[in-house]
Structure formats: structure tokens, C-alpha cells
């Protein structure tokens, strides 16, 4: 018997006959625990298979109706395709009936069918009142015209007609494709003797083959699928929308608890922040304040979260939102959870546990919300909550963090499943590609904003330091606002220079028309300084003495160092190239013969005082001429040609 990729989920007040109805439909008693049988209420999720007339089979999830088990109800209702709302005809709509309907709406359940149970216990008039009660309840929901069937789970009256209606609802579902990313929220995790760890859940997306490897989120542990079952039958593969049990290899149940996800490796975001849009219920018990603590129910997980409200216009955070109002927010979670853009969730009060509202995830991997970034966050979220194209969504991500690169893996995690992230980035006019693996992009608007400041900074540097080729590239990076990360700047430097009329010159950046060649008079002054230093050999005069009476530009010494005419050994210790090389050649010859350059040998050869000796030896180390040795210095294996 084939299994169709559809899940039916029950909903309704406690003791309204959900489990009895499922047994009447399927022949399966979903209350498997002794406590459930003793108390007559459902405590954990129950599962059954409904056989359809065409020979196929769909899954049914039976959820608890007690208010204390709303988390379990949400875990079962997430991913449901058809909601089966159960209302006892002799009691009508009750508090948990209303809450469950609200939760089904917040979770985006597409179809709803209503069963008025215990029809055998009421007369026609009371049955009509119950139908009217249900009609009023559903009037302002996504299912105002949901079919209603009077049934008796005990006698079976009305059950065949209800089953026909469920089949019609299933046949009219608009089911999406499987996609190439598999994921499943875990609702049970246990051990079976002789098999090991088994987890169950309702598959959300993609296809899974036996023997495949998945990733556990949070934790990022890899697990191999040893076997797959659906409704007690072994399967070679399963697809989205099926109830499955997975036998995992090499992992304990504690590592895959209820609330975690199993997913294709490296495809789902997993973090402690979510950017979301949500709505408070019209009958929410109180306004929701900024920075309030709530319980987030998403997938099969429940986590505490702090709600950081975001003003849609980018202004200061609202102090609170009122019942019935929509809001944008960043949820700061107490622990990491796996998440996907577009997933729906429910918010409940931390204490007392009342349902407050619900919404959907806009960005499952957002940057930290900061006061200065609220306007950018609001703009980005406005795009993500709209019917924007994938390319527009990519542009919004890049503009949120303008100086940072977004790689293909991160882009895939932040876009809704099924979106071709690479095609979206390539179609985005605002995405400037970087030469990297994996492919990365940065906001082209950032490069545009850097052009004028970069050109101005280089021009100012030329005016203040005419003898230099320009500022160091690292100095230019720091002058940009905000400074891009080094790898982003290096990747964009060529484009930045071309568009700003600049050109790299070694480690520096210059204007195209800039010449650092000194004038004849300046060259004469520079030669004077070089000659004074050279006259001192390895014992040059102090810098202030070498510059005495010389009209040298402020960057004259730096220019001479870059040209290699002098060397800066220490802050106030410069030597001319010729005497430096002569001394180095003597030291190299001596050390090759002696094996080690001892402090005494260095002193005898150089004649340097202690003030110059230690800086000179350390400079030789930095120049990769020598390396430290217990007895002094040794020569490097490879030396410059001029040193030998």
C-alpha cells in the first residue's frame, strides 16, 4: 500500500472525542500509555494511518486537548495539511477549541474539516446549536466555509461521510514539490532493543533515502539512516508530508531529542536569533512589551525568547504592541534552534502559559540587531515579508550588512527552501561578486559609497606626503565607512581603483596622475642625508643630526626607506644601504666559518655599541638573514644574493 504525502491532524477541546474518532476512522487506538488509558485523556502525540479508497494511505496525528499540553499540540499540528477540528455536540465550542483553531490558523494549516462528535447523545435542536456555534467560531478564520459533519465515534454514524470529506480535502490540496533539502522535526526519540535509536516525525520537505546521512540541529552531529518505516511498513525512501520512524546509526537518543531537526547537512540555519513578523491575537490577554520574555513554539521545539520589537519605519523600538496588531521583531533565543525562512510559529506567555499570537520567520540567520542598524533591519524585513523576487531578497540581505560579504551557503540558509540562491544572486544588480570559493557577494552600493571617500583620502595623502606613492592599502581600507573586512577589500580593490581613478602601486594606492619622483632640489637634500648616514657606516649619526640644516620634506626618510637607499633598523637608527650590506657580508662570511655568530664575534666585527648592537641583530632576524640560537645567531638556509 502506497503512502501519500499528506498528514491529517486533530484539534479540539479535551474529552471531545478526538482519539475515539481516530479509532473509528482507522481502527487504531492512539492512547498507548497506561496513564492515558487510566485518565481517559491524550498526553502525548498519537499516530495512525487512514486507508483511502484508491488504495493509498495518509497519516493522522492525534493531539492532546488539555491546556497543559499545548506545546505537544503545536508539535503535532506543525506540518499538518488537513486539520480535523473535533467539537462535542453536547458541549459545543470550548476554550481549547478556540485556542486550537487560533493555533491552526497561525501555523497556516491549509484545509479544515469539522467533526461534531457524540451526535448520538444530543437531539436535533442541540445539534443545530452546536453547528451554529462552530459557524460563528470559524467566521473570521481562513476556513469560514469548512465542512461540518455530525458523527459518533462509538456507533460509527456519520464516519463514512466524514471520511469522504477528508478525501475530498486531500484531493484539493496544492502540494509543492519535494525539493532537494530534506528536513524533519523530531517529536519522539527512544531506543528499541536490537535496533538502537529511533526517532519519529512528520517530514516537512525533500526526499530521504535509506542509508543517507543527515545532520542533527542543534549540535551539527552527523547521523546515518539505517532504516525507514512509515505506518509500520519499511520504506526505501520517503518524501515530504509523511509520518515516519527513522532508525539512526551511531547516536544515542539524548543527542536527537524531541524539538531537534534532522536535515540535509549544511542546509538549515541554526542560531539563537530569528527575525520575524507576527500578530498578537485579538483576544490576547495583555499587550506585548518590547524586551518581553515569551515561549517560542516552532516545529517541535519550545524555547524561551526575548522579543526585541522593530519599528517598520526604522525608528526607535515601539514600547509595546496591542492585541490584534502586527509587528516585526528579532527574537533572541535562550538556545540555538534549526529554522527556515517562511516557517510558522506560535508565541505563548512565559507565565502563566497563555497563547499570545504567532507568525512566520523572515530571516533565520540575521545579524545582531543594533540601535544604529534598526533602519536597515526594517528595510530588509519589509522586503522579506512582501512578495519580492529572490533577487530583491538578496539585495535586501546585502544592504543589511553593507560592508560584509554573503557567501552562497549563507544565502541558501537565509532564503526560503526551493529558491535557487545562485541564480538569485546573479540576477541581483546590487550584488557585486567576489572571486572566492564558495561564491560570495557584497553590496554594490557599498562600493559606490566608497568611491568618493577613497579618492579624497588618497588625494589628501598625496598633498601631505608628495614623495610617497600614496597611502598603504590597509590605511585606505580603514578610512572607508564602515571599513570592509580585509578579504572583501582585497577582492574589490581592483574595481574600486578603476572606478575611483586610482591605481595600486605595490602596497600603496595612488592617483593615476601622481608622481612621487622628487624635484632636483629635493633630490639634492635627500642625497645629503644619505651621504651623512653613509659616512657613519654602521655607526651613523642620530636622525636629528643627519637632518640638521636639511630642508627635507616630512616624508623624506620614508621615501628613502621605500627606495631602499637607507634602512630603518629601529625608531631612531637608520643606516645607508652600502655600509649595511658591507657589514652583513662580513657577518655572513664569519658565521659560515664559525657556524654560529656569538655576541662577542658580532661585537668584534661590527664595533657597535650596546645601544646599536641589539637593534641591529633583531633587524637581521626580521630581514631573514639570521635566526636565534642558544649561543647567538645562525644563518638562514636561503640568503639574498647580495649577502654572499
- Residue pLDDT, tens place only, 43-86: 346 777 788 888 777 888 877 645 554 667 677 667 788 999 99
Separation between Cα atoms, residue 369 and residue 400, nearest integer Å: 10
228 within 8 A of 245, measured Cβ to Cβ: yes
- Answer yes or no: do 61 and 159 share one domain: yes
**Do 458 and 565 share a domain, yes or no?**
no
Buried residues in 199-217 as b, exposed as e (16+ CB within 10 A): bbbbbbbbbbebebebbbb
β-strand partners of 83: 9, 112
Whether 136 maps to a domain, the answer reads: yes
Are residues 81 and 195 located together in one domain of the fold?
A: no
Q: What is the SS3 string spanning 572-634?
A: CEEEEHHHHHHHHHHHHHHHHHHCCECHHHHHHHHCCCHHHHHHHHHHHHHCCCEEEECCEEE
Whether 7 contacts 58, CB under 8 Å: yes
Statement to judge: residues 506 and 583 lie in one domain:
no
Q: Are residues 453 and 474 in the same domain?
A: yes
The answer as to whether 357 is a domain residue is: no
> Which segments of 107-201 does DSSP mark as H helices, in order?
124-138, 159-171
**Which one of 238, 263, 288 terminates a domain?**
263
Q: Is residue 314 part of a domain?
A: no
Judge whether residue 31 has pLDDT over 80: no
Q: Are residues 569 and 641 in the same domain?
A: yes
With cell 608622481, the residue in question is 515
Same-domain check for residues 114 and 54:
yes
Beta bridge partners, 273, equal 332
CATH number for the domain including 246? 2.40.30.10
Quick check: helix, strand or coil at residue 48? strand
Grid coordinates in use for 15?
A: 474529552
Higher per-residue pLDDT: 494 or 241: 494
pLDDT the model gives residue 25: 87
Same domain, 22 and 108: yes
Shared-domain flag, residues 195 and 97? no
- Distance between CA atoms of residues 93 and 110, nearest Å: 21
Provide, rounded to the nearest whole percent, the portion of the chain with pLDDT above 90. 49
pLDDT, tens digit (0-9, with 9 covering 90-100), for 540-587? 888 888 888 888 877 888 889 888 999 999 888 999 999 999 999 999
- Contact call for residues 274 and 363 (beta carbons, < 8 A): yes
CATH number at 479 reads: 1.10.10.10
Task: Say which CATH number the domain at 106 has.
Answer: 3.40.50.300
Answer whether residue 36 is part of any domain.
yes
User: What confidence category does residue 41 fall into, taking pLDDT thresholds of 50, 70 and 90?
Assistant: very low
* Segment 211-266, tens digit of pLDDT: 999 999 999 999 999 999 887 788 888 888 888 889 999 899 999 999 999 999 99
For residue 288, the surrounding DSSP H or E stretch is strand 288-289
Residue 307: inside a domain, yes or no?
no
100 within a domain of the structure (yes/no): yes
Q: How confident is the model at residue 176 (pLDDT cuts 50, 70, 90)?
A: low
Final residue in a domain of this structure, among 234, 263, 292: 263
What average pLDDT does the segment 368-387 reach? 84
Residue with cell 536490537: 194
Do both 249 and 142 map to the same domain? no
Give yes or no for residue 39 having a pLDDT over 50. Answer: no
Grid cell 499570537 is found at: 357
Domain presence at residue 255: yes
Last residue of a domain, one of 203, 237, 263: 263
Q: What is the mean pLDDT of the chain?
A: 87
Please tell me the chain's helix, strand, coil percentages from 3-state DSSP, rounded to the nearest 5. Answer: 35, 30, 35
Residues 15 and 154 in one domain: yes
| CA atoms of 177 and 108, how far apart (whole Å) | 18
**Is 320 part of any domain?**
no
Same domain, 506 and 613: no
Contacts of 72 (CB under 8 A, 6+ apart): 43, 44, 45, 63, 64
Assess whether pLDDT exceeds 70 at residue 172: yes
| Number of compact structural domains in the chain | 4
Alpha-carbon distance of 379 to 361, in angstroms, equals: 16
> Which residue range(s) make up the domain with 96?
3-171
Q: Which pairing describes strands 406-407 and 344-349: parallel, antiparallel, or unpaired?
A: unpaired
Amino acid at each position: 500500500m502506497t503512502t501519500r504525502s499528506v498528514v491529517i491532524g486533530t484539534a479540539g477541546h479535551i474529552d471531545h472525542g478526538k482519539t475515539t474518532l481516530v479509532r473509528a476512522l482507522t481502527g487504531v487506538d492512539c492512547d498507548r500509555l497506561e496513564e492515558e488509558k487510566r485518565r481517559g485523556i491524550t498526553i502525548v502525540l498519537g499516530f495512525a494511518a487512514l486507508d483511502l479508497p484508491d488504495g493509498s494511505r495518509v497519516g493522522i496525528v492525534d493531539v492532546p486537548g488539555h491546556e497543559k499540553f499545548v506545546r505537544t499540540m503545536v508539535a503535532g499540528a506543525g506540518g499538518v495539511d488537513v486539520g480535523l477540528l473535533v467539537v462535542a455536540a453536547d458541549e459545543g465550542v470550548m476554550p481549547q477549541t478556540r485556542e486550537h483553531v487560533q493555533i491552526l490558523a497561525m501555523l497556516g494549516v491549509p484545509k479544515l474539516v469539522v467533526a461534531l462528535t457524540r451526535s448520538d447523545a444530543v437531539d436535533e435542536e442541540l445539534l443545530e446549536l452546536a453547528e451554529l456555534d462552530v459557524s460563528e467560531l470559524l467566521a473570521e478564520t481562513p476556513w469560514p466555509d469548512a465542512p461540518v459533519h455530525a458523527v459518533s465515534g462509538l456507533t460509527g454514524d456519520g464516519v463514512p461521510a466524514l471520511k469522504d470529506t477528508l478525501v475530498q480535502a486531500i484531493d484539493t490540496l496544492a502540494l509543492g514539490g519535494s525539493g532537494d533539502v530534506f528536513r524533519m522535526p523530531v517529536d519522539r526519540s527512544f531506543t528499541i532493543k536490537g535496533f538502537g535509536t529511533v526517532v519519529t516525525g512528520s517530514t516537512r520537505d525533500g526526499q530521504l533515502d535509506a542509508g543517507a546521512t543527515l545532520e542533527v540541529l542543534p549540535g551539527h552531529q552527523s547521523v546515518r539512516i539505517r532504516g525507514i518505516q512509515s505506518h509500520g511498513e519499511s520504506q526505501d525512501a520517503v518524501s515530504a508530508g509523511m509520518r515516519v520512524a527513522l532508525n539512526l546509526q551511531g547516536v544515542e537518543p539524548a543527542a536527537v531529542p524531541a524539538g531537534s531537526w534532522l536535515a540535509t547537512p549544511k542546509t538549515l540555519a541554526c542560531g539563537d536569533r530569528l527575525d520575524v513578523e507576527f500578530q498578537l491575537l485579538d483576544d490576547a490577554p495583555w499587550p506585548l512589551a518590547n524586551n518581553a520574555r515569551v515561549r517560542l513554539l516552532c516545529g517541535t521545539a519550545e524555547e524561551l525568547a526575548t522579543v526585541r520589537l522593530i519599528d517598520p519605519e526604522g525608528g526607535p523600538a515601539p514600547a509595546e504592541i496591542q492585541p490584534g496588531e502586527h509587528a516585526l521583531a528579532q527574537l533572541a533565543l535562550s538556545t540555538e534552534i534549526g529554522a527556515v525562512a517562511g516557517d510558522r510559529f506560535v508565541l505563548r506567555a512565559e507565565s502563566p502559559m497563555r497563547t499570545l499570537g504567532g507568525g512566520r520567520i523572515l530571516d533565520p540567520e540575521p545579524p545582531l540587531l543594533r540601535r544604529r542598524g534598526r533602519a536597515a533591519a526594517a528595510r530588509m524585513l519589509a522586503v522579506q515579508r512582501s512578495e519580492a523576487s529572490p533577487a530583491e531578497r538578496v539585495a535586501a540581505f546585502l544592504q543589511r550588512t553593507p560592508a560584509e560579504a554573503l557567501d552562497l551557503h549563507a544565502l541558501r540558509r537565509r532564503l526560503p527552501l526551493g529558491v535557487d540562491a545562485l541564480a538569485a544572486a546573479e540576477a541581483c544588480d546590487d550584488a557585486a561578486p567576489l572571486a572566492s570559493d564558495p561564491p560570495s557577494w557584497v553590496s554594490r552600493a557599498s562600493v559606490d559609497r566608497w568611491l568618493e571617500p577613497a579618492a579624497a583620502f588618497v588625494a589628501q595623502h598625496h598633498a601631505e606626503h608628495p614623495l610617497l606613492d600614496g597611502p598603504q592599502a590597509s590605511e585606505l581600507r580603514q578610512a572607508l565607512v564602515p571599513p570592509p573586512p580585509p578579504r572583501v577589500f582585497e577582492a574589490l580593490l581592483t574595481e574600486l581603483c578603476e572606478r575611483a581613478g586610482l591605481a595600486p602601486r605595490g602596497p600603496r594606492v595612488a592617483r593615476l596622475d601622481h608622481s612621487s619622483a622628487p624635484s632636483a632640489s629635493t633630490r639634492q637634500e635627500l642625497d645629503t642625508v644619505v651621504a651623512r648616514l653613509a659616512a657613519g657606516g654602521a655607526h651613523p649619526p642620530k636622525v636629528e643630526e643627519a637632518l640638521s640644516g636639511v630642508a627635507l620634506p616630512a616624508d623624506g626618510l620614508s621615501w628613502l626607506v621605500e627606495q631602499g637607499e637607507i634602512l630603518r633598523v629601529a625608531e631612531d637608527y637608520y643606516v645607508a644601504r652600502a655600509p649595511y650590506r658591507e657589514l652583513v657580508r662580513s657577518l655572513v662570511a664569519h658565521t659560515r666559518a664559525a657556524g654560529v655568530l656569538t655576541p662577542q664575534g658580532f661585537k668584534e666585527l661590527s664595533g657597535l655599541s650596546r645601544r646599536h648592537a641589539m637593534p641591529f641583530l633583531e633587524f637581521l632576524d626580521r630581514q631573514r638573514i639570521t635566526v636565534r640560537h642558544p649561543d647567538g645567531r645562525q644563518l638562514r638556509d636561503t640568503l639574498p644574493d647580495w649577502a654572499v
